[in-house]
Copies of this chain bind each other. A is one copy, B any other.
Amino acid sequence: MRAGSAAKRLLVGRPLDSGRLGETLLPKRVALPIFCSDPLSSVAYATEEILLILALGGLAVLHLAWYAAVGIVILLLVVVASYRQTCYAYPGGGGAYVVSAENLGQTAALTAASALLIDYVMTVAVSVVSGVAAITSAVPSLDGHAVLLSVVFVAVLAWMNLRGVRESGRWFAVPTYAFIAVIYLMFAVAAVRMATGATIRAESADLPVEAVSTYSGIALVLLALRAFASGCTALTGVEAVSNGVPAFARPKSRNAAMTLAIMGGLSVTMFFGITVLAMVYEVHVAEDPTELGLAPGTPMSTALAQIGRATFGDWHILFYVLQAVTAGVLILAANTAFNGFPMLASVLGRDRYAPRQLFHRGDRLVYSNGIVLLALAAIVLIVAFDAELTRLIQLYIIGVFVSFTLSQAGMVKHWRRELATPAGAADRHSIHRRLAINAFGACLTAVVLVIVLITKFTHGAWLVVIAMPVLFAGMKGVRRHYDAVAAEVAVGPGERPRVLAGNHVLVLVASVNAPSLRALSYAKALRGTSLTAVTVAEDPAQVELLRATWEAHGIDVPLRVLSSPYRSIVQPVLRHVREAPERTGNSVISVVIPEYVVGHWWEQPLHNQSALRLKTRLLFMKNVVVIDVPYRLASARELAAERARAAEAARAAEAAKSAEDRT
């Protein structure tokens, strides 16, 4: 405990005052990297995912990537436009859960929540794994350690987030802006080189792409749709901005909508630019090196790494910079989820769909429980899927489009309700426009959801289709439990504490020592209706000794000896209490137990084991209250003194800080 507490302070810093929450509001330049690193970074792999699917149809169908890319660009613009409306309508934060809850009811809200929870976990897993892929593309010798690297990065992210939102923002700005800069630099270099007559080709341009099977007719359409669905990873994380509106600097809604627009512009240009270069350079990729005519197990570079290597050519340093910032932004993209997941979990905790402790803030202004939970879930996924991006990505898109569709459908309902209230003509015109945008967005994302479901179901997405209802049912169950408990403990108006007829006190003793005497002191101070000391006869000699000492010390409490036919300490006490006639409807029995308090974790199993088992059983008996009277051993007193000193130091530091603030 001692080490734990000190380590926590060292790792996550001093607790922040509630009054300082205002300080952590984010200007746009800080909010962009925090909330948009996910959609921005997904351009690093979206193009590749399209090409990987089309490669199944061989070289002849690769040109379909153009159609998929254009479709995704349109979709992205529509979704961004649609979510900008949410920023204005919900300045308090308009995640899919909140919007669905307010407009579409409980079932839709919980569906959205299930989808979002899964997606946050997937965002962490997919972003980190693909960041690690960028690293192994540049340093092939790390290829075998992808799982370990990924897990370490998730742990580091969790740690940064436990330190709080503001500090992490500052750090996270660097790789995001560097990534944007390097991508545009790459575009510029490519444009200049090609304008001056250079022919740039990818390292894989000459590799054959062998079709796994021949696609034509419906099958070809389905393949193209599957490629489109895979490319839709570019859209993940758009939700984060509308969800995080309250964290923006004032004017919150305007700044958030503006940030969303900037993000949309950057995403569309980067994604389309990368796709253009991939097609022009003739980048060939495949899930298995043998499909490209390579030996099994040949390490392969990502599409973006191939484009970078081809563009920068001899300027190796720029290629390595590209890979470094790509890895950086991808790993930090997971941060979007570390912001979103705990906030959603906290809202669910507030609405009693999740354990209450997810609602309470830790002492660093962040929802520590949610952060830890998210990191653990992502680590489990990464380990289970062996850090393989192509397998993980199959689970990714469904949740995103479920929440898109529900959120925008909810917005349609919202605007229709606004229209029902009397308002000026200008306003009505504006509302009609917003309604149209959201309605179009909802329809489009619903269609994409159907496409994703059809094309990805058998490739792993069925797992999500199972997981979502399970989460849904779990949250409903938690709520049902809390509701039942609330109904059970509710009291009628004017009901007062009952007056008890008696409090019969039993003190458990094994010998006459300081903890027993302390327990007896306390038991006397309870001034109960009766007071008896109770001991278990494990060994007749021991009982005789106890009786003699009891008399020698002149203790004026009657001592009752319980026989122990089964040589257990717990059973005789349980039976004695269970059969006590004093335990009537209006009297209680207080069982006082001396407890040894130790300061080291390893001392714990050496003490109080019988007391612990006794307590868990007595808890279930009617009209029984167990009182541990702690006796702190030397090691515990040291720990207590250390804690008191730490508390004193924290208070002094705080006082000094406030004095400083005042001057």
Q: Across the interface, which residues of B come within 8 angstroms of A596, CB to CB?
A: 485
Q: Across the interface, which residues of B come within 8 angstroms of A520, CB to CB?
A: 497
- Docked pose: A514 CA to B495 CA in angstroms: 9
- Docked pose: A515 CA to B488 CA in angstroms: 10
- Docked pose: A647 CA to B525 CA in angstroms: 34
A543 at the interface (CB under 8 A from B): no
A214 at the interface (CB under 8 A from B): no
Residue interface mask A276-291, B partner, CB < 8 A = 1 = 0000000000000000
Q: Across the interface, which residues of B come within 8 angstroms of A631, CB to CB?
A: 489
Is A640 in contact with B628, judged by CB distance below 8 angstroms? no
Is A497 in contact with B524, judged by CB distance below 8 angstroms? yes
A 570-591 contacts with B by CB, 8 A? 571, 575, 578, 588
A420 at the interface (CB under 8 A from B): no
A 468-508 contacts with B by CB, 8 A? 478, 481-482, 484-486, 488-491, 493-500, 503
A208 at the interface (CB under 8 A from B): no
* Closest partner residue, chain B, to A605 (CB atom): B355
The smallest beta-carbon distance between A260 and chain B, in angstroms, is: 29
A77 at the interface (CB under 8 A from B): no
Is B499 in contact with A521, judged by CB distance below 8 angstroms? yes
Is B620 in contact with A566, judged by CB distance below 8 angstroms? no
The smallest beta-carbon distance between A156 and chain B, in angstroms, is: 25
Query: Which of B361, B498, B606, B629 makes the CB contact (< 8 A) with A521?
Result: B498
A661 at the interface (CB under 8 A from B): no
Q: Across the interface, which residues of B come within 8 angstroms of A513, CB to CB?
A: 486, 489-491
Given A639-B620, A640-B621, verify A588-B525 contact (CB < 8 Å): yes
Residue interface mask A152-188, B partner, CB < 8 A = 1 = 0000000000000000000000000000000000000
- Docked pose: A605 CA to B634 CA in angstroms: 32
Query: Which of B490, B552, B588 makes the CB contact (< 8 A) with A514?
Result: B490
Is A500 in contact with B524, judged by CB distance below 8 angstroms? yes
- Docked pose: A597 CA to B617 CA in angstroms: 11
Is B565 in contact with A18, judged by CB distance below 8 angstroms? yes
A526 at the interface (CB under 8 A from B): yes
The smallest beta-carbon distance between A553 and chain B, in angstroms, is: 6
Q: Across the interface, which residues of B come within 8 angstroms of A603, CB to CB?
A: 481
A15 at the interface (CB under 8 A from B): yes
Query: Which of B360, B517, B525, B565 makes the CB contact (< 8 A) with A491?
Result: B517
* Closest partner residue, chain B, to A15 (CB atom): B566
Query: Which of B355, B555, B609 makes the CB contact (< 8 A) with A497?
Result: B555
Q: Across the interface, which residues of B come within 8 angstroms of A489, CB to CB?
A: 513-515, 631, 633
Majority DSSP secondary structure for residues of A touching B: mixed
- Docked pose: A365 CA to B626 CA in angstroms: 29
Query: Which of B17, B552, B619 makes the CB contact (< 8 A) with A630?
Result: B619
A 537-562 contacts with B by CB, 8 A? 538, 552-555, 557
A385 at the interface (CB under 8 A from B): no
Is A553 in contact with B496, judged by CB distance below 8 angstroms? yes
Q: Across the interface, which residues of B come within 8 angstroms of A15, CB to CB?
A: 566, 568, 571
- Docked pose: A497 CA to B621 CA in angstroms: 29
- Docked pose: A634 CA to B554 CA in angstroms: 45
A632 at the interface (CB under 8 A from B): yes
* Closest partner residue, chain B, to A484 (CB atom): B634
- Docked pose: A18 CA to B538 CA in angstroms: 10
A8 at the interface (CB under 8 A from B): no
Query: Which of B481, B491, B555, B620 makes the CB contact (< 8 A) with A496?
Result: B555
A102 at the interface (CB under 8 A from B): no
Is B644 in contact with A578, judged by CB distance below 8 angstroms? yes
Query: Which of B356, B552, B643 makes the CB contact (< 8 A) with A493?
Result: B552
A205 at the interface (CB under 8 A from B): no
Residue interface mask A626-653, B partner, CB < 8 A = 1 = 1111111110100110011001000000
Q: Across the interface, which residues of B come within 8 angstroms of A628, CB to CB?
A: 619, 625-626
Residue interface mask A328-372, B partner, CB < 8 A = 1 = 000000000000000000000000000111001111010000000
The smallest beta-carbon distance between A68 and chain B, in angstroms, is: 45
Is A567 in contact with B361, judged by CB distance below 8 angstroms? yes
Given A17-B566, A18-B565, verify A497-B526 contact (CB < 8 Å): no
Q: Across the interface, which residues of B come within 8 angstroms of A363, CB to CB?
A: 566-568, 571
- Docked pose: A496 CA to B498 CA in angstroms: 35
Q: Across the interface, which residues of B come within 8 angstroms of A616, CB to CB?
A: 1
The smallest beta-carbon distance between A487 and chain B, in angstroms, is: 10
Is A619 in contact with B633, judged by CB distance below 8 angstroms? no
Q: Across the interface, which residues of B come within 8 angstroms of A491, CB to CB?
A: 512-514, 517, 553
The smallest beta-carbon distance between A359 and chain B, in angstroms, is: 9
Given contacts A490-B513, A490-B514, A497-B521, 6 further A-B contacts (CB under 8 A): A488-B634, A497-B557, A500-B525, A522-B625, A575-B647, A597-B620
Pull 15 A–B residue pairs with CB atoms less than 8 Å apart, ordered by A. A16-B566, A355-B609, A362-B568, A365-B567, A485-B607, A486-B513, A488-B514, A488-B633, A488-B634, A489-B515, A491-B514, A491-B517, A497-B524, A498-B517, A625-B628
5 nearest CB pairs, A to B: A497-B520, A489-B513, A361-B567, A497-B521, A620-B640
